């Protein structure tokens, strides 16, 4: 399996390197870092001051990607889908494309002092979560499993960056 990490707009190199260094241990997959892609202007919703996650994913349908690979786009902009106030990420299994936002994973977003270790762990958890969806996993009822739905940062912090036994079994 090949996983392509695709930065959308400006994303800190440290975030991309952290994902490149940690995702292979979770998936046993080869990783490829794609060139930076521009954020599609049509994804921005002025009234919400956010980017529509589904529009971003749709814009990547035509991007040249390695055949059979999973693509995870990483963006430093706030994402939403119409039914929710925000999302940390979204996945489209049909096209093997997911996107995560790192914006709300920072302590400073909530007026707290930055903590690089907490931030990077959150980024990894959200990346693994969306890639899990691309591998046909749904949300898990186990609050410690990386596939548990994160409705808040507290949910993300509670869960592990790995799959629970049941989800791991479903991947095998």
Residues with catalytic function: 130
Q: In what order do the strands lie in the sheet with 50-52?
A: 44-45, 50-52, 79-80
Which tokens go with 60?
């990547």
Are 31 and 24 in contact by the 8 Å Cβ rule? The answer is yes
Cα distance between residue 152 and residue 170, in whole Å: 26
Closest by alpha carbon to 150, among 166, 172, 128, 167?
128
Strand pairing partners for 12?
none
């Amino acid at each position: 399996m090949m996983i392509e990490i695709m930065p959308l707009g400006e994303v800190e190199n440290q975030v991309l390197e952290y994902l490149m260094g940690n995702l292979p241990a979770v998936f046993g997959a080869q990783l490829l870092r794609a060139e930076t892609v521009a954020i599609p202007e049509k994804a921005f919703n002025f009234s919400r001051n956010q980017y529509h996650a589904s529009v971003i994913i749709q814009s990547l349908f035509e991007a040249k990607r390695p055949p059979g690979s999973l693509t995870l786009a990483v963006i430093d902009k706030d994402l939403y889908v119409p039914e929710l106030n925000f999302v940390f990420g979204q996945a489209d299994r049909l096209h093997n494309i997911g996107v995560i936002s790192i914006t709300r994973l920072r302590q400073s977003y909530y007026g707290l002092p930055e903590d690089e270790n907490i931030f990077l762990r959150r980024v990894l958890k959200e990346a693994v979560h969306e890639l899990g969806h691309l591998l046909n996993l749904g949300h898990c009822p186990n609050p410690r499993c990386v596939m548990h739905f994160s409705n808040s940062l507290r949910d993300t912090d509670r869960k592990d960056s790995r799959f629970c036994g049941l989800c791991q079994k479903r991947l095998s």
